[in-house]
Structure 1
Amino acid sequence: MKKVVFASLLAFASSTLASLPVAMAQDSGSQSGQITIKDPAEYNAYTNAIGQSAPAAKAAAIESFLQQYPNSVVKAEMLEQLVGAYQATGDAAKTFDAAKRLLQVDPTNLRALTFVVYVGKAQASGDQAKLDDAAANAQKGLTSTKPASMSDADYQKLKDLATPIFYDAIGADDVAKKDYKDAITAYTSELGAYKDPAQTTQNPALADTYYLGNAYVQEDPKDLVNGIWYLTRAAQYLPEPYKTTAEKAAEYWYTKYTGKMDGFDQVKQLAHDNVTPPASYKPVPAPPPPSPQELAHQAIVGTPDPSKLALGDQEYILSNGSTDDAQKVWGVLQGKTTQIPGVVISATADSVQLAVSDDAKQSQKADFTVNMKASLKDVPATGSTVTLIGTFDSYTQNPPMIIMKDGEAKPAAKPPARRPAHRPSSN
C-alpha cells in the first residue's frame, strides 16, 4: 500500500514542462557582442534564427543553423536559445534533447542542467538509473559557476529557480534507494531554498514536504518530532486523497509519540502557518512503558501466591523477572507435574519442543522442552497441537526455555459409559 501511495503522489507532484518558471525559457542574451562571426552568410543565418518571434519557427531556424554550421563559434549560445524555444513550445522531449546537446558543449550550463534534471526526474517513473542520472546532474548544477556572459543578477535569479529543482531530484533518488538520512538533507535544503514560503504549498515542494516527513519516520533511529511536523504540514495543503493519507500518518505517529491526541489541533494550526517547526512546537513524549522486568515484578506483587498465577504469567516471570522474582515462581513449579498444551515446533520420539505462550506461537519458537519418560510410538507432526504431561525440571532465561521431565502423552478421554437400555417392567 505504501508503494502505491508514493507512486500516486509522485505522479501528482510531476507537472508538465510548461509549469517550469517562465524565466527558465528566456533567452540567455546574445553573445554576438563578445564573439565575432566572420562569415557573412553564417552571420545572416544567425541573426535570422534569433530574430524569430514564434517559438516553433525559432527552434526550426536554429536547428537549420546548427545543421549548416555544426562548429560555429556561437554553437553554445544557439543551443541555449534552442532549449528556450523548445520549452516555449511545450515539447518536453525536444527540450530535453536540446539541453543534453548543450551540455556536451557546455557541461556546467545551469539552464541546461536544470532542464535535464527536471525532465529526467519526471521521466524516471521508478527507473533507478534515470533517477541516479538526474541526481548526478543536480549535483553538478549545485556547484556550477556563473558564466562571464551573464550578469550577477540574472545568474542569481536563475540559481534561485534551479536550486529547489536540483534538491527535489536528489531527494527522490535518495528515497528510492532508502537513504533516508541523505533524503532529509536534500528535502530540508529544498524547502530552505524557496524565497517565498507560499511556494512550499505548491509542487514539488508540497509533495517533498510529505516525503520529508516520511523520511524522518523511516530513518533509524526515527525522529518522530520532525516526522510528525512535516507530515502535518503537508496535510494542511495537499488535496484529497493525499491529504487524508498524510493526516492519518501524522495522527498515528503523534499518538505513538505522545500517547494521546490532545494538542494535535494546535500542531495542525502551527504547521499551517510555518514551513519549519517554530520554537513553540514542543510535543511532550509519553512516559516510557514499564520494562519486561518491571511488568514481571508487578505480577508478583499483585499476586503474592505465585501458584495462583496462570501458566503464561508464570512463564513470563521466569523469562523476564529479576532473579528473586523468578525464583519465587520456580519455587512453586519445580517438581510439579502438569499438563502442557502447545504447538509442536520439533519432535523426536524422546523429546518434544512446544510453543506454549502466544508470543512463542506467533514467532514459531519453542518455549517448552518436554523430555519423554518413554519413547513415543507416534511422534507428533510439526505444527500440530498437542497436550503433554510433564514435571517441571529446570529453566533458562536466555534463551527463554522451560524444561520438563518424565513427559508422556495425555491419555485419550474415555468414552462415556453406556447405560443399559430401560426395559419396561411387566405386570
Structure 2
Amino acid sequence: MKKVVVASLLAVASMASVAGPLLAQTQVSLGSNAQAASGGVQLSPAEYKAYNDAISQTTPQTKAPAIEAYLTAYPQSPVKASVLEQLMLSYAAFDPAKTLDAADRLLQVDPNNLRALTFEVYFRKQQGDQATDPAAKQAALDKAAEFGQKGLAVTTKPADMSDADFAKVKDAATPVFYGAIGAAALNKKDTATAITNYKAELASVPVAQTQTPGVLLQDTFILGQAYYQSTPPDYVNCTWYTSRAAAFAPEPYKSQMMPLAKFCYKKYHGADDGYDAVTAAVQTNLNPPADFKIKPAPSPADIVAGVISSTPDLSTLAISDKEFILANGKPEDAAKVWDTMKGKSVQFPDSTVIAVSDTALQVAVSDDAVQSKTADFTFQLAAPLKTPPAVGAKVTVSGTYASFTPSPILITMSDGAVVEPKKTPTKAPVHHPAHH
C-alpha cells in the first residue's frame, strides 16, 4: 500500500477556484486623454493611443500580441507593471508557457505581485506533476514551493488596489501557496513539512470548499497519504483524512481512495468493524475532534495472554500457535508453553528443508515458515546423514525440544534425525498349481 495514486482529473476545477480574484484586472487611471486626472499617470498622445488600442482588445488571443507590441514600442512605459499583469492574464487563457514568461517579467518590476506569484506557483507545480523524470519533477515542485513561500510573505497591498480586492486575491492565493509547498516536501519524503502545509492549506479556506471535488479535496486525501508515509506511519490520521476525502469524492475517485482509508483503519484497529463510525464523523468535521478515537488492535502480548487464559491444556496448541507465544508472549507466558514442550521427543512430517550440514538440519515446520521459506527449527543431528536431503525437499524429522530463541523464533532440537519412510515389504509371488 506504499503507493496510492488518485487520478489528477479530480483537480480539474483547481484553477477555476482561484480564477475570479486572480483574473480581475487592476485598473490604472489614465484620465480621459493623455493628460491624466489628479493622481493619474501621464502618457503622450501616441503612447496613450497604443495603450488604449492594446487593452481594448476583446479576446485574450488578440489582446496578448497587442500588448506585446505596445511593450516593444514603449519598454519603459510608466504603466509597465499593469500592462504586464494584463499580458499575463491574457496568456493564462490559452498559453501556460507564455503565462510564466509574462509572470517572470512582471516580477522583475513588481516582485510582490500576488497574481504573478500565484501563476508561477500554479503552472510550475503543474509542470512538476506532469514530469516523468524524478529530478525534473522535484526541481519544478521546489521552484513552485519557492514562489509559494514568497507569496505567503507578501502582506502589503499595492497602492492602486483596494483593501477588499487585495484580501480577495490573498485569500484565493494562500491555499495555492501552501499546497505547492506541501507537494514539494512530500515528493522528497519530508512528511512533517508536507503535513504542516497541507493542513494550513485546508485551514485557509471555508470548510465547505474542502467538500467540493477539486484540488482541496484531492489534497485532503494526499494529507492522509502523508500521515501514512510518515515514520512510523500515523494510521489514525491516515484513516481520518483519506476517509474524509472519499466521503465527498465522486466516482471513480471514491473507489480509488477507499482502499487506503480502510487499509489504515484495519492496520490500526485490527479488523473492519467500527469503520462506519469513522465515515459518519468525517461528514461533519474537517479535522478529527478532540474526542475522536479508534480502538487499537490488541498487541501480540495481549493476544498471547488471551490464548493462555482460554486454553486449559497448552500442550494441545498447534505448533504455529506455540511459536507465536514463544516469540511474542511475556516471559512468564512463554515459559508456561515451553514447560509443555522441553525435553519431549516429537516427529514433524512434511518439513521443508532450508539448509543442511554435517551436524545440523534447518527446516520450516509452521505454515508461516514454509510460506516465507525461513527455518523455524534447527535439528542438531545425532549422526551424520548418509544421504543429505536437497534444499526444498519434504522430509520427516524427529528430535527432542532443547531450547529456543524468540526473535526471530527458532527452536533447537537435540538428537535430530531424518525419519526414512518405511519400505513396503515385497510379497513373494504366489504359485498356483497347474490343473490338468
TM-score normalized with structure 2 length: 0.82
CA distance in 2, matches of 1:298, 1:17: 57
The Cα of 1:36 is off from its aligned counterpart by: 5.4
Mapping for residues 290-309 of structure 1, pairs under 5 Å: 291-292=300-301, 295=304, 298-299=307-308, 302-304=311-313, 306=315, 308-309=316-317
Residues 332, 243 of structure 1: alpha-carbon distance in 2 compared, 3 angstrom cutoff: closer
The superposition leaves residues 209-257 of structure 1 with CA deviations (integer Å, 9 ceiling, x where unpaired) of 2222333333334444443333333223211111223345444544555
Residue 310 of structure 1, CA deviation: 4.0
Post-superposition Cα deviations, 1:273-301, rounded to whole Å, max 9, x if no partner, equal 4434456x734515x42533761683486
Q: Counterpart in 2 of 1:155? A: 166
Which residue of the partner structure matches residue 28 of structure 1? Answer: 26
Q: Does 1:94 align with 2:102?
A: no
Between 1 and 2, higher relative CO (CA 8 Å, sep ≥ 6) is seen in 2
1:373 match: 382
The corresponding residue for 1:116 is 120
- Partner SS, residue 6 of structure 1: coil
SS at match of 1:236: helix
* Aligned-partner residue type, residue 118 of structure 1: Y
* C-alpha RMSD over aligned residues: 3.4
Paired residues of 2:103 and 2:120 also in contact (CA < 8 A): yes
Partner amino acid for 1:82? L
Unaligned 5+ runs, structure 1: none
The aligned runs of 1:209-288 (5 Å cut-off) are: 209-254=220-265, 257=268, 264-265=275-276, 267-278=278-289, 282-286=292-296, 288=297
Gaps of 5+ in 2: 31-35, 132-136
Aligned to 1:337: 345
* Alignment partner of 1:64 is 2:69: yes
Alpha-carbon spacing, 1:295–1:211, altered in 2? closer, same or farther (3 Å): same
- After superposition, the C-alpha distances for 1:21-44 in whole angstroms (9 at most, x for unaligned) are 233122222275768567654444
Instruction: Please tell me whether residue 181 in structure 1 is matched to residue 192 in structure 2.
Output: yes
Residue in structure 1 matched with residue 134 of structure 2 by the alignment: none
Cα distance in 2 for partners of 1:266, 1:309 equals 36
- The alpha-carbon deviation at position 266 of structure 1 amounts to 5.6
| Distance (whole Å) between structure 1 residues aligned to residue 375 and residue 10 of structure 2 | 49
Letter in 1 for 2:200: S
Q: Distance in 1 between matches of 2:336 and 2:280?
A: 54
The alpha carbon displacement at 1:59 in A equals 1.6
**Cα offset, 1:101, TM superposition:** 2.3
The percent identity for this pair of structures is: 45
Distance between the aligned counterparts of 1:86 and 1:361, measured in 2?
A: 64
Shift of residue 139, structure 1, vs aligned partner: 1.4
Write the distance in 2 (CA, Å) between the matches of 1:351 and 1:222: 40
Give CA-to-partner distance per residue, 1:139-172, whole Å, 9 cap, x none: 1111123233333222111101111111222222
**Preserved contact between residue 296 and residue 316 of structure 1 (Cα < 8 Å):** no
Between 31-40 and 18-27, report the one with greater CA deviation. Answer: 31-40
Q: Which stretch has the larger CA shift, 21-30 or 218-227?
A: 218-227
Farther-moved stretch of structure 1 (338-347 vs 270-279): 270-279
- Between the aligned partners of 1:400 and 1:201, the Cα distance in structure 2 is 51
**Which of the residues 117, 125, 138 maps onto 1:128?**
138
State the shift of 1:65 in Å: 1.8
Correspondence for 2:358 among 345, 349, 353: 349
Task: State the match for 1:167 in structure 2.
Answer: 178
Q: Is the 8 A contact 1:113 1:138 kept in 2?
A: yes
Number of matched pairs: 421
Q: 1:66 to 1:378 in 2, by over 3 A?
A: farther
Q: Is residue 2:2 matched to residue 1:6?
A: no
Secondary structure in 2 matching 1:272:
coil
Matched with 2:219 is 208
User: 2:147: which partner in 1?
Assistant: 137
Of stretches 205-214 and 42-51 in structure 1, the one that deviates more from structure 2 is 42-51
**CA–CA separation in structure 2 for the residues paired with 1:60 and 1:48:** 11
Aligned residue identity for 2:418: A
Displacement of 1:419: 5.0
Partner of 1:366, secondary structure, is coil
8 A Cα contact 1:391 1:405, kept in partner: yes
Contact 2:14 2:215 in 1 (8 A): no
CA distance in structure 2 between the partners assigned to 1:247 and 1:423 by the alignment: 77
Q: Which amino acid aligns with 1:414?
A: K
Give the C-alpha shift of residue 129 in structure 1: 1.8
In 2, distance between residues paired with 1:179 and 1:373? 56
Q: Quote the offset at 1:357 in angstroms.
A: 2.5
Q: Secondary structure at the match of 1:21?
A: helix
AA matched with 1:202: P
Offset, 1:365? 3.2
2:362 corresponds to which letter in structure 1? Q
Aligned mates of 1:410, 1:84 — CA distance in 2: 84
Task: With the length of structure 1 as denominator, give the TM-score of the two structures.
Answer: 0.83
Q: CA deviation at 1:329?
A: 4.7
